[in-house]
Structure 1
Amino acid sequence: MKDRLLAKPEAELDYPFGPDAAVFKVQGKMFALLYQRGGSECVNLKCDPHEAVGLRDLFAAVTPGYHMNKRHWNSVRLDGSVPDGELQRMIDQSYTLVVRGLPAATRRGLEARHGRAALYGVTA
């Protein structure tokens, strides 16, 4: 999972909460938190609030964000029950939501270095 998260453009790994909680950031803003809970590996990912509820209804492994704003974050138990493609889509969306929230000058710099498709998954 760490490799997938670090594959995002300019993703950085930090441990501000200690060695058991891996925080993945872009331009200093968190887009994922990887941790162990109840013997399972979990990841917290930012999500559109309306979609967050639907994902929780669809997948038992998706719950409101543990120790996070439960409207904007989901926790995903990495037990294999969420299809790989869906998990990657959730990672991509979390990253994109955080990038879109960055100051315009910072976003433009990221776009110039990596292209819009790499940041947002679109070509326009």
Structure 2
Amino acid sequence: MNLSASIPPTHQAWLLKSPLAPHVHAFTTHLQNGRYAAKTIKGYISCIAHFAQWMSQGNLPVHRLDEHMVAQFLVHHLPRCDCSPPVMRVPHVLRAALVHLLVVLREQGVIAEPTPRPATSPTNCAATTSTCSRCVV
């Protein structure tokens, strides 16, 4: 897929000037190998361009990316996002694209595998189940 024909120029600049630039081809190939539709691939590339812009603004290196960083983007950046339109702001679409990005970066050995979190329960957790997303009931 030709990047210049698939996403807006602003997104191209965000992506190609970011720490994710070396991984765009692998990301696209991963989606193509998964038989994703061209429209979906285009949308997901725009999603990671938005994420790349956020990374660049925060000087976040690629090797620090993980599920926690994705959550930070979705929970803290998105609600008050003032990035130049058009940008994807639909959390479930962004999350789907970013999960694929993490898979690709792990396959390339760029980021570590996720470390399993210990299961907690209301009986051994200081938080309540209503405030603790890790609680397993």
Shorter-chain TM-score: which interval? 0.3 to 0.5
Of the two structures, which has the highest relative contact order with CA contacts closer than 8 Å and spacing of 6 or more?
2
- The structure carrying a bigger helix percent of its residues is 2
- The structure carrying a bigger strand percent of its residues is 1
Task: Tell me the TM-score normalised to structure 1 length.
Answer: 0.36
Structure ID, larger Rg: 2
Task: Tell me the TM-score normalised to structure 2 length.
Answer: 0.33
